[in-house]
């Protein structure tokens, strides 16, 4: 999954021949998971049709302050558009449009939206060689960069005039790559490595049957996705689950048993900055696994169980620099038991769940947690979606590194 996933992108298109490339650009942004709102200058309508871009973006395309053919005369509010975007991209940005941006010449909806934008603004120039090198154009570049706008440099190549040189609009793939790289650079967990465990473990009784639990793995998967979306490289060690995750910064390591999860955790732990043990690991496993399916001959079946290795405790013992987060699922004496777990397992933070809270626990889309840190500061949270809880957990990690 791209870092652009879920981002609201205002795409401003000005009137140059390179506007024909914006259909492909919109397609790539949508494919990356972004929401794209196209705003066109009047001149750009000669080069690419609003119908094409509206079809690809699945949103109406705006180019005027109001639609003269609309009997209701609804105003296309440039302020609302400017506030909507997480980022604004102007591509192609012609010399004319760049000059208007630099000098506040607000004579169309695109420039009005630009002047109203509260988000980061990127611009990708496109013009002929001599125009690109002209002092007035260079002055526009300098002014816009002084405003905090970010230039996506033009490329060298064949130009519409037949000349070859600098001024060609960056290829759509390169524009998307530039945005992704720049956004990743700004993310708070950029450069951090985080290990997350998720899901249940299955402890085999025989080749067919196992001891397990009802964990879906959703909490761990949501944490992994939130951490990756904020720039971290994530190793997600997951027990059996139907869940999937598609993100360039997430590596999924599938395991089945508690021992396999233990081995995988210790394989990666030393290189991690953070470890989050969200998996519901079996505490016991059958001492002896039957080599063949056990026949249903007797009225009862006795199993001898043995303890599995305590993954979280072993990570706590080996901790050097890692920020270690554990989970506690309790049904009684919740705070007391969770506090003891912090001490016994050398944790920095514990996320307490109580099965006594409605909407919390396994197989639920929601969770109600209490954060307890190593100083025993207790912070109860409201009932939230598991995605929102995951966001809060990752925010705790960010706060730790900002402290």
Instruction: Annotate 355-393 with three-state secondary structure.
Output: CCCCCCCCCCCEECEEEEECCCCEEECCCEEHHHHHHHH
**37 phi, psi to nearest 5 deg:** -115, 115
Rounded CA-CA distance 87/76 in Å is 19
Rounded CA-CA distance 337/351 in Å is 12
Rounded CA-CA distance 34/29 in Å is 6
The tokens describing 305, both together, are: 């169980």
For residue 54, CA distances in Å to 4, 49, 67, 110, 225 come to 19, 9, 16, 16, 30
The tokens describing 118, both together, are: 């509260």
Would you tell me how many other CB atoms lie within 10 Å of the CB of residue 228? 26
- Ramachandran assignment for 365, one of left (phi > 0), alpha (psi -120 to 50 degrees), beta (any other): alpha
Residue 226 exposed, middle or buried by CB count within 10 Å (0-12, 13-18, 19+): buried
Reported as half-sphere exposure (CB side, CA atoms, 13 A), residue 60 has a value of 7
15: DSSP letter: S
CB-based contact 38:62 (threshold 8 Å):
yes
- The Cα diameter of the chain in Å comes to 92
Q: Which of 77, 96, 213, 346 is catalytic?
A: 213
171: DSSP letter: P
Enumerate residues 6+ apart whose C-beta is below 8 A from 213: 200, 280, 282, 362
Angle at 91 between CA 89 and CA 93, to 5 degrees: 110
Rounded CA-CA distance 132/166 in Å is 7
Going by C-alpha positions, the residue among 97, 105, 175 that lies closest to residue 137 is 97
Let me know if 213 is a catalytic residue.
yes
Reported as half-sphere exposure (CB side, CA atoms, 13 A), residue 195 has a value of 23
Residue positions annotated with a catalytic role: 213
């Amino acid at each position: 999954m791209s870092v652009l996933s879920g981002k609201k992108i205002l795409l401003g298109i000005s009137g140059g021949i390179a506007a024909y490339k914006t259909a492909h650009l919109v397609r790539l942004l949508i494919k990356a998971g972004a929401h794209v709102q196209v705003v066109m200058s009047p001149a750009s309508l000669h080069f690419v049709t609003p119908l094409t871009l509206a079809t690809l973006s699945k949103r109406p395309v705006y180019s005027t302050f109001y639609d003269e053919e609309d009997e209701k005369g609804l105003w296309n509010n440039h302020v609302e558009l400017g506030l909507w975007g997480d980022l604004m991209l102007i591509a192609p940005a012609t010399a004319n449009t760049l000059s208007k941006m630099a000098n506040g010449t607000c004579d169309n909806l695109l420039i009005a939206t630009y002047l109203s934008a509260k988000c980061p603004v990127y611009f990708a120039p496109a013009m002929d060689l001599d125009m690109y090198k002209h002092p007035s154009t260079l002055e526009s570049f300098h002014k816009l960069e002084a405003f905090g706008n970010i230039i996506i440099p033009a490329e060298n190549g064949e130009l519409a005039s037949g000349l070859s040189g600098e001024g060609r609009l960056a290829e759509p793939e390169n524009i998307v790559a530039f945005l992704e790289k720049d956004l990743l650079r700004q993310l708070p967990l950029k450069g951090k490595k985080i290990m997350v465990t998720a899901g249940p473990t299955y402890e085999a009784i025989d080749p067919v049957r196992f001891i397990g639990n009802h964990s879906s793995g959703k909490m761990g998967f949501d944490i992994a996705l939130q951490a990756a979306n904020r720039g971290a490289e994530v190793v997600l060690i997951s027990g059996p689950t139907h869940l999937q995750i598609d993100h360039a910064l997430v590596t999924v390591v599938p395991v089945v048993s508690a021992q396999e999860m233990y081995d995988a955790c210790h394989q990666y732990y030393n290189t991690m900055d953070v470890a989050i043990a969200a998996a519901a690991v079996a505490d016991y496993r059958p001492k002896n696994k039957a080599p063949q399916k056990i026949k249903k001959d007797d009225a009862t079946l006795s199993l001898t169980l043995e303890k599995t290795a305590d993954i979280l405790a072993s990570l706590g013992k080996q901790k050097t620099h890692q920020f270690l987060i554990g989970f506690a699922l309790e049904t009684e004496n919740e705070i007391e038991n969770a506090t003891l777990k912090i001490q016994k397992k050398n944790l920095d933070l514990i996320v307490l769940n109580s099965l006594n809270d409605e909407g919390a626990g396994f197989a639920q889309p929601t969770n109600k947690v209490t954060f307890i840190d190593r100083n025993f500061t207790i912070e109860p949270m409201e009932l939230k979606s598991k995605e929102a809880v995951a966001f809060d957990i990752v925010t705790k990690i960010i706060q730790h590194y900002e402290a």
